[in-house]
Amino acid sequence: MKRSVTNDRRQRSYILYILWFSVILRTLERHAVQRDEYVVAIAGRDNEVAAVQYLRAQVGPQLISGDHGKEDAALQATHSKSFSFGKSGSTKMPWSRVLSFTDPFAYQSAFRSVDVELFPTAKGKFCAELTQVSMNRLWIHGAHEDLPRVCIGAVKPYGAAIGFLTRANQPAMMHCGMVVSPGEIIVNDTDLMYRRTEANCDWGSMSLSKEDLDAACQVVTGHEYAVSPLKRVVRPAPELMSRLLKIHEMVGQLAKTTPDMLSLPEVAQALEQELILVMIRCLTESASSETTAGGHRHDMIVARFEEFLEANPDQPLYLTEICAAIGVAERTLRVACVAHLGMSPIRYLSLRRMHLVRRALLRADPSTATVTRVATDHGFWELGRFSVAYRTLFDESPSESLRRPTDERPAFLKRPSSLAASAYR
């Protein structure tokens, strides 16, 4: 029995060794160990030294000698700390999935940690791939989107989330009027957020409960996480950000190529603790910038604008009427919308309604619904002009969308329909 327990401990230890050094392999993008080699390394070596020797043969002794510079030494000093979450210590079975989408509403409905409305801002076929990994406490997302888009949403109240671009040399994205470049991290709060990206965008996110974030921060730093009342962007040291991106990428690749590896509790736990550790260090040891007083005022204005649009879905709306209703000058609303949404208020109103009417047409029953009724329900009363604009944006007529065969329609998930109604209250 004692030998069995010892062997079990060694088995878990081998997996942790393999995982840690596989991060190095993927980080340096050379001599990658294939899945069968993982199995051989875990099952075929009877002690930790042999496992290390095996990896040294794959990557070279200088890469796993433990001398990785000051940044690695600092990480190794806290790497041995394990995080204890909650009161019960219960665990969940880890899982992962990789999804492909051709419809933006189905795509946004798959997000787990945020409620968002997402609208592509350019003509073309929408294509997105979403990788999701659920560990015991940590949610991980990775995505690629072909079209530029704007989204409005909020992190669910119980969550704490960060977001970042995952590919170097891609265009910056805008978050609540702030420029976010590769190498920077968005610290999300639970207020409404406004985010826009360019075409061919790769982004990632990580989220966990506020309680778990505080518990992990207590272990790593000795105190709970200090929440800023303002929207914040942090820029970690390059070595720390690189580590976060590489482990995040590794998790995504495992989900795509060998998802059964992520279902092993020891594997998921090792990766989760490493990601949380790096996440905490990125949040607590980085230079940061916060939204200005003017930017916060623009947040409030755009929130009132969005709430007014939601409250008046079927009415023709004009800029003077909108400004009077939300209590701002036309120029102020225009400046706020350009900063947060990348377009004028009327352009956003038209784009938003176009995507909502398309969503309604694709969900409607063609035996009872009509294009006229659906269009007027969404504020389009000049039907000829509406049809032309609809075809220009979606490359098909409204009636073609309505009559699309059931097997060609996107699957829709149930989700809340209103975001702005509860904002800033």
Looking at residue 411, its pLDDT comes to 56
Average model confidence (pLDDT) across the chain: 80
Q: What is the largest CA-CA distance in the chain?
A: 81
% of the chain exceeding 90 in pLDDT: 56
Q: Is the pLDDT of residue 268 over 90?
A: no
18 contacts: CB under 8 Å, gap ≥ 6: 33, 38, 41, 42, 51, 55
Q: What average pLDDT does range 91-113 have in this prediction? A: 89
Q: Which of 27-31, 294-298, 340-344 has the lowest mean pLDDT?
A: 27-31
Query: Are 81 and 216 in contact, with CB atoms under 8 Å apart?
Result: no
What pTM does this model have? Answer: 0.77
Q: How confident is the model at residue 82 (pLDDT cuts 50, 70, 90)?
A: low
Q: What average pLDDT does range 299-317 have in this prediction? A: 94
More confident residue, 423 or 166: 166
Looking at residue 207, its pLDDT comes to 92
Q: Is the pLDDT of residue 345 over 70?
A: yes
Task: Kindly report, residue by residue over 117-155, the tens digit of the pLDDT.
Answer: 999 999 999 999 999 999 989 999 999 999 999 999 888
Task: Kindly report, residue by residue over 233-246, the tens digit of the pLDDT.
Answer: 999 999 999 999 99
Q: What average pLDDT does range 314-326 have in this prediction? A: 95
Q: Is the pLDDT of residue 57 over 80?
A: no
Looking at residue 396, its pLDDT comes to 94
Looking at residue 92, its pLDDT comes to 73
Would you say the CATH fold of 293-422 matches that of 95-290?
no
More confident residue, 305 or 293: 305
Q: Which of 37-51, 174-188, 385-399 has the lowest mean pLDDT?
A: 37-51
What is the domain partition of the chain in residue ranges? Answer: 2-67, 95-290, 293-422
Q: How confident is the model at residue 290 (pLDDT cuts 50, 70, 90)?
A: confident
Helix crossing, 345-363 with 293-311: angle to 10°? 40
Q: How confident is the model at residue 84 (pLDDT cuts 50, 70, 90)?
A: low
Looking at residue 138, its pLDDT comes to 93
The CATH number assigned to the domain with range 293-422 reads 1.10.10.60
Looking at residue 112, its pLDDT comes to 82
Q: Which of 5-9, 99-103, 302-306 has the lowest mean pLDDT?
A: 5-9
More confident residue, 213 or 42: 213
Highest mean pLDDT among 153-157, 177-181, 263-267, 292-296: 177-181
Instruction: From the options 2.60.40.1120, 3.40.1010.20, 1.10.3720.10, 2.60.120.10, give the CATH code of 95-290.
Output: 2.60.120.10
Q: How confident is the model at residue 195 (pLDDT cuts 50, 70, 90)?
A: very high
Looking at residue 342, its pLDDT comes to 95
Helix crossing, 319-326 with 330-341: angle to 10°? 90
